[in-house]
Structure 1
Amino acid sequence: MKKAMLSMILTAAALTASAADKIVIDGSTTVGPIGKAFAEYFMAANPDVNITVSESGSGNGAKSLVNGVCDVAAMSRPMKDSEFKAAADKGIQPVAHVVALDGLPILVHPKNPIGQLTIEQIRKIYTGEISNWKEVGGPDLNIVVITRDTNSGTYETFEKLVMNKQKITEKAEYVGSNGAIRQRVQTTPSAIGYAGLGFVDKTVKALKVNGVYPSAATVRSGEYPIARPLFMYTSGYPKLGSAVYRFVTLYLSEDGQEMVDEIGFIPVTSY
């Protein structure tokens, strides 16, 4: 009886895997490293499942899910009402899976002596009201303002938590990824930018904001003022036991939490 039951379970699992042997992920460049790490881990454990990860931005991830082009939309912000409506119009019910927490550090060149800014100072820098580092106690250098593309969830988080509905200066440079922000800042002594917590390394300097340094502890406690959840959206709740279900719930496992932590983000649970 036990052997027969085991055979039935294995057969069912094999059928599930073969029915969903491809998972397509699209969206956020912030969540991208998590998606790639999860994909590599998952495919090693499930050789019959192929996973592709694209990083076209949170907004495009939402569009891909609505249009049935991807199975998982990686997003660094919640879906907008307009995106939910577009999904509903096509009979799709997006379901959010919060896979990690993230801070949004303000980055400057390592040689910049500035160590902290307030939200108000950051806002004034990004509106252009403050245009020289000497105005906030730094060197006499014109500030080079770097921001993300407007289709980015990181941009929209920054706009909501920092800009307070004020427009970013027309002099700002727009780049297409968190990695591009870091690269621009690390090569430009007078630059300022922002990126996900997982993109901070020795090539850039993260500033204290309102006196609080961005870290896993301060994001988790709510002290760091520029923080957000990171999402993976699916079309409806995935079928229990399916490849998509096992993939999007990987963050709940001990291995998943370790991967999130190693990438530089903050696990939502801890075992």
Structure 2
Amino acid sequence: MNMRSKPFIAFTLAVVLLGTAFVCGCTDSGTGPAETETISVTGSTTVLPLAQLTAEAYMDTHPEADIQISGGGSSVGVTAVGEGTADIGMASRDLKSEEVTNYPDLVQHVVAKDAIAIIVHPSNTVSDLTVDQIKSIYLGDITNWQDVGGPDETIVVVGRDSASGTREYFHESVMDKEDFTTSQLEKNSNGAVRQTVAQTPGAIGYVGLGYIDATVKAVPVKTGSGIVDASVATVISGEYPIARGLNMFTDGEATGLAADYLAFIMSPDGQALVAEEGFVPVA
């Protein structure tokens, strides 16, 4: 072979390779990665950790799904889904009458049950409280722990802000819709309530069951039938008096990824995660 033939051979090979690539491209079966589908879920900080846990588990087996979770409170969640700025709204309470009027197409999905636990600083020696005593503390009528069997210490009342579904439920079921004391410290999440109580020896607060940890002490509630701890078992049995459902709302019946995600939460695997997060399964 002479030297002048080499450029010709190289050119011929390039043409063949280019043609092969073109044919392969034209006969591609279209089996590339699926298009990502995104939904947004927002609202209650009580439901938030459950939503995050179940979304992560769902996306682990559905790589084409993108479930974006954020908090803000139950009122934020209901408004967002009602106004169409979110696909799912989380709420730790039922809809208010004005929300039913404003957003008549919202569909309720009860994904778990929860207890509202009364928490104090771990050093507090109070052994239990009745619902009436809790109400009196939050009204501002009882201001020292020694009046309810605790230490001689001023009570620091900690609660939630007006966007909170936990506050709304507490206001109805414990306070009988009477006003909270004006000295109440209002926090925008369960985590913020827990942190404040953990750092304040005289404080009292209320949080969802999943937020109880070693940094705070959960105070049992004294009822007519005995002293009852806030727990999954006492919510299931109906013994614990301050318990409610946890909800996700959709605008109309859920479709697409939202429907599939909700179905996963209600599946045995999803409800196992409900229990893992410290809430009460409903299915």
TM-score for both structures, normalised by structure 1: 0.88
- Alpha-carbon distance in structure 2 between the residues aligned to 1:238 and 1:111: 47
- Alpha-carbon distance in structure 1 between the residues aligned to 2:64 and 2:55: 12
CA shift digits 1:52-92 (9 cap, x unpaired): 1110110011110111000000110011121121113xxxx
Which residue identity does 2:257 align to in structure 1? A
- Asked if 1:195 is matched to 2:207, the reply is yes
Which residue identity does 2:278 align to in structure 1? G
Secondary structure at the aligned position of 1:52 is classed as: strand
The match for 1:9 is none
Secondary structure at the aligned position of 1:171 is classed as: coil
The match for 1:28 is 44
CA shift digits 1:29-66 (9 cap, x unpaired): 00000111111111111111111111011001111011
Contact 1:251 1:267 in 2 (8 A): no
- Alpha-carbon distance in structure 2 between the residues aligned to 1:94 and 1:162: 27
- Alpha-carbon distance in structure 2 between the residues aligned to 1:157 and 1:127: 16
Contact 1:146 1:181 in 2 (8 A): yes
Offset, 1:224: 0.3
Aligned residues: 247
Contact 1:31 1:76 in 2 (8 A): yes
Secondary structure at the aligned position of 1:255 is classed as: helix
Contact 2:127 2:149 in 1 (8 A): no
- Asked if 1:259 is matched to 2:273, the reply is yes
After superposition, residues 107-186 of structure 1 pair within 5 angstroms as: 107-186=119-198
Offset, 1:183: 0.4
Which residue identity does 1:158 align to in structure 2? F
- Asked if 1:68 is matched to 2:80, the reply is no
Return structure 1 stretches of 4+ with deviation > 3 angstroms.
none
- Asked if 1:59 is matched to 2:91, the reply is no
Name structure 2 gaps, 5 residues minimum: 1-31
The match for 1:220 is 236
2:253 aligns with one of 215, 237, 245: 237
Secondary structure at the aligned position of 1:147 is classed as: strand
- Alpha-carbon distance in structure 2 between the residues aligned to 1:165 and 1:71: 31
Secondary structure at the aligned position of 1:163 is classed as: coil
Name structure 1 gaps, 5 residues minimum: 1-13
CA shift digits 1:128-152 (9 cap, x unpaired): 1000001111111000000000110
The match for 1:80 is 96
- Alpha-carbon distance in structure 2 between the residues aligned to 1:68 and 1:252: 24
Which residue identity does 1:257 align to in structure 2? Q
- Alpha-carbon distance in structure 2 between the residues aligned to 1:204 and 1:231: 26
1:247 aligns with one of 257, 261, 264: 261
Offset, 1:252: 2.0
Which residue identity does 1:95 align to in structure 2? V
CA shift digits 1:88-107 (9 cap, x unpaired): 3xxxx111111000000000
Based on CA coordinates, which of the two structures has the bigger radius of gyration? 2
- Alpha-carbon distance in structure 1 between the residues aligned to 2:152 and 2:219: 19
**Aligned alpha-carbon RMSD (Å):** 1.3
